[in-house]
A = this chain, B = another copy of it.
């Protein structure tokens, strides 16, 4: 069995490569739900959906999220209601775009949760509807919310105030300075997949944001303990290449939260729980600095511009973690 800790886009591409290498039923991915949100009464799980749609071959390849050949009729119609009320209302938010086809997934998830199903069950059913044979597991069935503390007064709020991850990431396009990240609810939330982490042959950490995609999973009780005890079987792929995130704010967040925006900063975050770090050829000169953190460092091509590159990367990660 192979366990993969995952965020959204980067993880989805990595999993697509892994699926070319091993039997799908041997893969279980534990996926971040810290950026789940409720909008219009609908339970939205962005990372779960990005992974599901990508692995089903239905993701919009340009946007990297949502379904291809999507329409936006409902969201466009919502603009009629957007200016009826003052800004104090959270109704009719049009900054979080939900495609018409995509809505069906949120409808199903919301209705199932309302009738008492767990998020694990629903995630499994949705994966089944998309004919996926690997196991997708939300990191917890309980509510954990990634909250971002603003470093300075800005359009998003005053310094020191907290906004939700989606407000940070989507509404403000991760353009505001951050002083802290918190995972509200993680103290009491029960993690999913701990047994699997304890027994898996390989544990891979996908090239996701270590501070807002992997950290929520690690914030759950017992996860870091298990990873630490399996450290030699844990292999991470750096999402930072040549000092920059391929997508998203990982580089800036590293700097803002006191880490070097480089594979060395990533190594420092993962060293306690992970024995091996895969970095890109572009960062080969930093391999010894990574190893100085007490990790084995593997240098290869990590930019997943094709399924073949993803597959080769997955193969390397598997070899290192076994």
Contact = CB atoms under 8 A, between A and B. Distances in A.
A114 interface: yes
A89 interface: yes
Interface stretch (A8-16, A38-46, A132-140, A231-239): A38-46
Q: Range of interface residues on chain A?
A: 35 or more
Contacts of A92: 104, 107-108, 111
Nearest to A127: B84
B107 A89 contact: no
A40 B107 contact: yes
A38 B107 CA distance: 11
Contacts of A39: 111
- Mostly, the A contact residues are helix
Q: How many of these chains are in the complex?
A: 2
A77 interface: yes
A15 B119 CA distance: 46
Interface in A192-222: none
A85 interface: yes
Interface in A90-107: 90-93, 100-107
A257 interface: no
Given A41-B42, A100-B71, A104-B78, A115 B129 contact: no
Interface of A: 38-43, 71, 73-75, 77-78, 80-81, 84-85, 89-93, 100-108, 110-112, 114-115, 117, 125-126, 128-130
